[in-house]
């Protein structure tokens, strides 16, 4: 196209200009004493550091940015690294060092040639796209205030053209002009834009396709026809990729010789009289060929890794239909096997022979192993706030080690999970000798201090407002400091926390949390309705203070272990508006009720609340964790496995065991599956009976854990099946049941589809869960008993599908580091084990009625809305 020719001319012109600037810069360095053997200065004390060539920057600014200071010893390797560090700021076109002896020491002279600064970027001729849109398009490449780098100008031009093409202006082109101001050392860049007419793809036609329909092939392409569901945008680079996708679609189904022979573009005016918009018709001519099959798959030249070891991961199988994706996966897999062992200079050459008569594709992988590569040096650049030693904590490969691609990939994941950086680029370049490689790490820092606040509604805690101040990288040393507060209908909390993730720069975590809490605990018993007709439930309040000290240790690649010391000083209360009466507390768990012995009256003598004494509970927790998720907020691959044992002493006396696991599996480039499982059990601490377990009983939040259920229906489900519940007594002697438990199993599976990567996504899900009261049959009435049975859940119950509640549905996930919102539409159902056959046991819950959604969907449909719930 014409704009490509014009851009080639522009690119050539700027290469000539860049060469001229480089020659001019070289002249500034002609007087450097590069011919000297600076080894004679090795070990001498650096007396003074001077600067030559500064224009816009001051000498002090340059010296302060130079890692080596006066008083240190002259060491060539450190000086080379310091030069690189200064150059990586991109403020200088050239940086060099001149050295001279002085008084048994040495004087360093930093010789610099500063880059011009971009004073302004102007756009001329843009009518369809605003200045803001164009600035956004080139912002990742250059912006006002950046050093001017000629090589980036063409990238910016291409970004603008691509932006126009995405909007349908296929013939747009840009002619840039750079205006230099030598006095102020800055440049003004003019982007002269010729937009052309809007062009949209009106039709994509395939020719020669007999095995797959045109619609099937169109679905493989990102280029779409203009219509209701697509805007018909055309991008030349994306279309080239589309041709590859179509050929790959054939090749994955055995058509080894399939190809796109020709493409014809036809432009026509949408309205020949107005001539302001054009349609593009694309004709794609295909040769399909015959189906081919895999023949022999072999290996030669491999001595370090055996053929058997390679073969076990090969997806291509003799006799199977040829599949291009399998072929490339095998090819990449062999390379990865060697790269992970340090053989990055290996060569894997697939030698393909085709038997045309029998349509057989034989592949022999010719492997040249070469020697191992080693890391010579690791350089860090781009960090202005975060200290180098903080970044180095997450780099678990050191100079001298074997080059390991898996470890290097893990470095990037670990740094992203700190949430310190917006972008992390890992580069590799040859070192000073054959077999040595230099690893370069260039980071772009993001905002680590967050001030947030808001309000909303949670099905678990009603209406609430919250505020938080958090710094995840305090003083650039990776320290975490936070202050948060929450005020809601049933929850109030203020907390301050501090953490040093790497104590003494060792893999040791130290964290301290201090908080005051006031929490209303819903018993689930309905005691009336408010003025709006919304049900009111019986509550009790627990309020007090909590102090936590956490000590952790990181080891291996993904493992960590923690021990936590937790002290809770709390008091129970039940107020007159929470269900209590002057005669006594009402409809609360027996473990709580027996402590509510102090009646508190108002000033006029009328009843106000019942309350307990203050109680102290000590908790020692031990946990072991393996976490390989690529993102802790929105993981698309990796796993999480954690086992926790909580030992309670004092007012509450028991042991609480929990095992949780999570797995994310990428399905495609965009889609991913997520699986979560949780297993919990309360037992007695050896030698001690269980005491006062109400504070730590498991609770299956039906709004969030099994989405779409509500508390009343869950309790009905348990009663109908004879499953044990936790009974509560009223002052009149009557009882009501509530579904707490001393054992818990919960599971979910999700298909996640991103809308805005890492922030907003669509999800479909399947949930299952249940609670048990081991040691009980039928309803479990604890009464005023002080101790309770200690027994594990019956294993056969875990595998009985009729004991679980289930839901399926769809929803939206909004994930921001300190603000998560989930909105779901869910269908409740149960399993009847008396039915047999696939799907026959699944049916509507017998206690369901038609919900408001039922008018459209049927029985058992509900809405679940949650905020700040810790879904993975």
Handedness of CA 513, 516, 518, 523 (dihedral sign): positive
Determine contact, residues 327/297, Cβ cutoff 8 Å: no
* Beta-bridge partner residues of 788: 690
Classify strands 861-867 and 819-831 as parallel, antiparallel or unpaired.
antiparallel
Where on the phi/psi map is residue 301: left (φ > 0), alpha (ψ -120 to 50), or beta?
A: left
Residues 872 and 826 in one domain: yes
Residues 14 and 163 in one domain: yes
Residues 695 and 769 in one domain: yes
Residues 97 and 141 in one domain: no
Compute the distance between CA of residue 305 and CA of residue 334 in angstroms, rounded to an integer: 10
CA Rg value for the chain:
34
pLDDT higher than threshold 80 for residue 452: no
Instruction: Give the pLDDT band (50/70/90) at residue 774.
Output: confident
Residues 130 and 108 in one domain: no
Least confident of 164-168, 212-216, 702-706, 749-753: 702-706
**Average pLDDT score over residue span 290-294:** 96
Domain boundary among 368, 395, 421: 368
Q: What is the pLDDT of residue 26?
A: 42
Q: What is the pLDDT of residue 37?
A: 55
Residue 493 covered by a domain: no
Provide, for the chain, the percentages of residues in helix, strand and coil under a 3-state DSSP scheme, each rounded to the nearest 5.
20, 45, 35
Residue 69 covered by a domain: yes
Residues 61 and 180 in one domain: no
pLDDT higher than threshold 70 for residue 869: no
Contacts of 484 (CB under 8 A, 6+ apart): 466, 467, 468, 469, 470, 493, 494, 495, 497
- For the domain that residue 176 is a member of, what is the CATH number? 3.10.20.310
Compute the distance between CA of residue 114 and CA of residue 87 in angstroms, rounded to an integer: 10
Residue 516 covered by a domain: no
Q: What are the C-alpha distances in Å from 657 to residues 365, 654, 742?
A: 51, 10, 10
How many helices (H) and strands (E) are present in the chain, helices listed first? 15, 41
Q: Residue 118's closest CA among 100, 144, 93, 138? A: 144
Neighbours of 606 (CB within 10 A): 9
Residues 222 and 246 in one domain: yes
Geometric angle at alpha carbon 854, from 853 and 860, rounded to 5°:
100
Domain boundary among 250, 269, 287: 287
pLDDT higher than threshold 70 for residue 377: yes
Residues in the chain: 872
Compute the distance between CA of residue 582 and CA of residue 607 in angstroms, rounded to an integer: 6
Q: Residue 484's closest CA among 461, 435, 517? A: 517
Per-residue pLDDT tens for 129-178? Answer: 889 889 988 988 988 888 898 889 999 999 999 888 877 788 888 999 99
Domain region containing 73: 31-114
Q: What are the C-alpha distances in Å from 303 to residues 308, 338, 370, 546?
A: 11, 11, 11, 61
pLDDT higher than threshold 60 for residue 28: no
Q: What is the DSSP letter of 28?
A: T
Instruction: Give the pLDDT band (50/70/90) at residue 861.
Output: confident
Contacts of 615 (CB under 8 A, 6+ apart): 569, 570, 571, 595, 650, 651
Q: What is the pLDDT of residue 93?
A: 83
- pTM, to two decimals: 0.63
Higher pLDDT residue, 548 or 274? 548
CA 735 to chain centre: 47
Residue 528 covered by a domain: no
Higher pLDDT residue, 853 or 345? 345
Per-residue pLDDT tens for 416-438? Answer: 888 888 888 888 888 888 888 88
Residues 7 and 87 in one domain: no
Q: What are the C-alpha distances in Å from 334 to residues 248, 331, 350?
A: 21, 5, 11
pLDDT higher than threshold 50 for residue 271: yes
Residues 270 and 305 in one domain: no
- For the domain that residue 650 is a member of, what is the CATH number? 2.40.160.50
Residue 542 covered by a domain: no
243 phi and psi, to 5 degrees?
-60, -40
Higher pLDDT residue, 628 or 88? 628
> Where would I find the beta strands (DSSP E) of 556-692?
559-575, 588-589, 598-601, 607-611, 615-627, 638-650, 654-666, 672-683, 690-691
Q: What is the pLDDT of residue 196?
A: 85
Determine contact, residues 249/212, Cβ cutoff 8 Å: yes
Residue 580 covered by a domain: no
Domain boundary among 390, 417, 445: 445
pLDDT higher than threshold 70 for residue 627: yes
Compute the distance between CA of residue 700 and CA of residue 709 in angstroms, rounded to an integer: 10
Residues 157 and 282 in one domain: no
Count: domains in the chain? 6
Q: What is the pLDDT of residue 333?
A: 93
Residue 302 covered by a domain: yes
Residues 736 and 830 in one domain: yes
Per-residue pLDDT tens for 671-726? Answer: 899 999 999 999 988 888 888 877 788 888 766 789 888 777 888 888 888 887 77
Determine contact, residues 791/684, Cβ cutoff 8 Å: no
pLDDT higher than threshold 60 for residue 777: no
Q: Residue 172's closest CA among 234, 223, 243, 239? A: 234
Residues 214 and 314 in one domain: no
Residue 487 covered by a domain: no
């Amino acid at each position: 196209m014409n704009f490509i020719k014009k851009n080639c001319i522009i690119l050539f012109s700027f290469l000539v200009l860049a060469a001229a600037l480089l020659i001019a810069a070289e002249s500034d360095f002609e007087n450097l004493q590069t011919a000297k053997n600076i080894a004679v200065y090795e070990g001498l004390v650096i007396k003074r550091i001077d600067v030559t060539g500064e224009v816009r920057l001051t000498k002090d600014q340059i010296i302060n940015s130079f890692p080596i200071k006066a008083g240190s010893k002259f060491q060539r390797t450190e000086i080379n690294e310091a030069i690189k560090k200064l150059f990586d700021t991109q403020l200088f076109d050239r940086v060099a060092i001149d050295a001279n002896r002085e008084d048994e020491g040495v004087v360093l002279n930093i010789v610099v040639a500063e880059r011009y600064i971009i004073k302004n970027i102007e756009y001329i001729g843009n009518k369809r796209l605003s200045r803001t849109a164009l600035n956004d398009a080139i912002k990742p490449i250059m912006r006002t205030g950046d050093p001017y780098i000629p090589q980036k100008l063409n990238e910016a031009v291409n970004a603008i053209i691509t932006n126009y093409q995405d909007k349908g202006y296929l013939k747009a082109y840009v002619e840039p002009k750079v205006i230099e101001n030598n006095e102020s050392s800055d440049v003004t860049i003019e982007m002269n834009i010729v937009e052309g007419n809007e062009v949209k793809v009106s039709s994509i036609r395939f020719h020669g396709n007999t095995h797959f329909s045109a619609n099937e092939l169109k679905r493989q392409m990102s280029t779409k026809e203009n219509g209701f569901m697509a805007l018909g945008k055309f991008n030349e680079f994306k279309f080239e990729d589309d041709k590859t996708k179509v050929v790959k679609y054939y090749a994955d189904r055995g058509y080894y010789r399939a190809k796109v022979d020709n493409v014809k573009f036809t432009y026509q005016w949408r309205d020949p009289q107005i001539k302001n918009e054009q349609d593009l018709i694309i004709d794609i001519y295909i040769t399909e060929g015959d189906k081919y099959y895999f023949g022999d798959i072999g290996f030669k030249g491999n001595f370090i890794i055996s053929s058997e070891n390679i073969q076990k991961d090969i997806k291509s199988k003799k006799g199977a239909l040829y599949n291009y994706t399998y072929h490339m996966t095998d090819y990449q897999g062999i390379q990865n096997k060697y790269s992970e062992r340090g053989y990055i200079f290996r060569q894997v050459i697939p030698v393909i022979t085709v038997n045309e008569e029998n349509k057989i594709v034989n592949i022999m992988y010719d492997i040249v192993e070469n020697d191992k590569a080693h890391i010579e040096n690791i350089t860090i650049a781009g960090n202005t706030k975060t200290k180098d030693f903080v970044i180095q904590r997450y780099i678990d490969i050191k100079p001298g080690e074997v080059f390991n691609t898996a470890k290097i990939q893990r470095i990037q994941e670990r740094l992203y999970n700190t949430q310190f950086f917006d972008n992390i680029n890992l580069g590799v370049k040859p070192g000073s000798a054959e077999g040595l490689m230099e690893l370069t790490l260039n980071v772009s820092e993001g905002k680590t201090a967050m001030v947030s606040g808001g309000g909303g509604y949670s099905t678990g805690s009603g209406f609430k407002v919250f505020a938080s101040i958090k710094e995840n990288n305090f003083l650039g040393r990776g320290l975490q400091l936070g202050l948060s507060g929450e005020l809601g209908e049933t929850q109030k909390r203020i907390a301050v926390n501090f953490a040093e993730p790497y104590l003494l720069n060792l893999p040791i975590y130290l964290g301290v949390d201090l908080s005051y809490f006031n929490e209303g605990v819903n018993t689930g018993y309905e005691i009336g309705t408010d003025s709006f007709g919304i049900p009111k439930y019986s509550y009790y309040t627990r309020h007090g203070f909590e102090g936590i000290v956490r000590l952790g240790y990181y080891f291996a690649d993904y493992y960590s272990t923690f021990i936590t010391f937790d002290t809770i000083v709390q008091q129970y209360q039940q107020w007159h508006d929470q269900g209590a009466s002057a005669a006594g507390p009402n409809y609360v768990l027996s473990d709580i009720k027996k402590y509510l012995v102090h009646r508190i009256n108002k000033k006029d003598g009328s009843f106000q609340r019942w309350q307990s004494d203050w109680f102290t509970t000590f908790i020692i927790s031990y946990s072991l964790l393996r976490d390989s998720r690529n993102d802790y907020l929105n993981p698309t691959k990796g796993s999480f496995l954690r086992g926790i044992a909580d030992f309670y002493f004092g007012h509450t006396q028991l042991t609480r065991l929990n095992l949780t696991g999570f797995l994310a599996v990428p399905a495609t480039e965009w889609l991913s599956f997520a699986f979560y499982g949780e297993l919990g059990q309360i037992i007695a601490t050896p030698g001690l009976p269980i005491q006062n377990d109400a504070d730590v009983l498991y609770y299956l939040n039906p709004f969030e854990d099994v989405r779409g259920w509500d508390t009343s229906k869950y309790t009905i489900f348990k009663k109908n099946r004879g499953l044990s519940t936790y009974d509560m007594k009223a002052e009149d002697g009557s009882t009501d049941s509530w579904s707490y438990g001393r054992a818990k199993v919960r599971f979910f599976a999700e298909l996640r589809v991103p809308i805005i990567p890492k922030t907003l996504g669509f999800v479909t899900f399947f949930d299952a869960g249940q609670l048990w009261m081991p040691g009980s049959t039928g309803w479990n009435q604890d009464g005023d008993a002080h101790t309770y049975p200690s027994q594990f859940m019956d294993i056969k119950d875990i595998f009985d599908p009729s004991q679980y509640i289930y839901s399926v549905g769809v929803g939206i996930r909004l994930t921001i580091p300190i603000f998560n919102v989930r909105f779901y539409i869910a269908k409740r159902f149960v399993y009847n084990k008396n039915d047999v056959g696939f799907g026959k046991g699944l049916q509507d819950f017998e206690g369901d009625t038609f919900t408001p959604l039922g008018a459209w969907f049927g029985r058992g449909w509900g809405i679940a809305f949650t905020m700040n719930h810790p879904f993975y």
